[in-house]
């Protein structure tokens, strides 16, 4: 690197690509940005955070409806409760530092 702090412009495209990639990674580390892989993992975790309480609510509701013969009362009630709980947990996960 010359004294000006700017990278040399060489004719080698591989070197230029490596320098550009390295500078992007350093800038992302300095600014605290997540990688695409980390973003995809977070999407997966958030999805399961909503799905698991929802499914638990549906299964528990179906069991209670069969036990008490109450139609879909418990299924619908616990489905809404599961979605609500899952969304609250996902919101907390997204706002975690």
CA-derived radius of gyration, the chain: 25
Cα→Cα distances 60→49, 85, 97, Å = 17, 15, 33
Give the pLDDT of residue 19. 92
The domain limits of the chain are 1-33, 35-94
* The predicted structure's pLDDT at residue 26: 84
* For residue 1, pLDDT beyond 70: no
- pLDDT score recorded for residue 69: 95
* pLDDT, tens digit, 9 for 90 and up, residues 32-91: 777 788 889 989 999 999 999 999 999 999 999 999 999 999 999 999 999 999 999 999
């Amino acid at each position: 690197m010359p004294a000006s702090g700017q990278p040399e412009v060489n004719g080698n495209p591989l070197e230029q690509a490596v320098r550009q990639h390295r500078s992007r990674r350093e800038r992302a580390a300095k600014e605290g940005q997540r990688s695409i892989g980390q973003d995809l993992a977070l999407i997966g975790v958030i999805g399961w955070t909503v799905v698991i309480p929802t499914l638990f609510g549906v299964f528990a509701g179906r069991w209670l409806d069969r036990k008490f013969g109450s139609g879909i009362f418990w299924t619908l009630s616990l489905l809404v409760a599961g979605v609500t709980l899952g969304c609250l947990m996902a919101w907390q996960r997204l706002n975690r530092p």
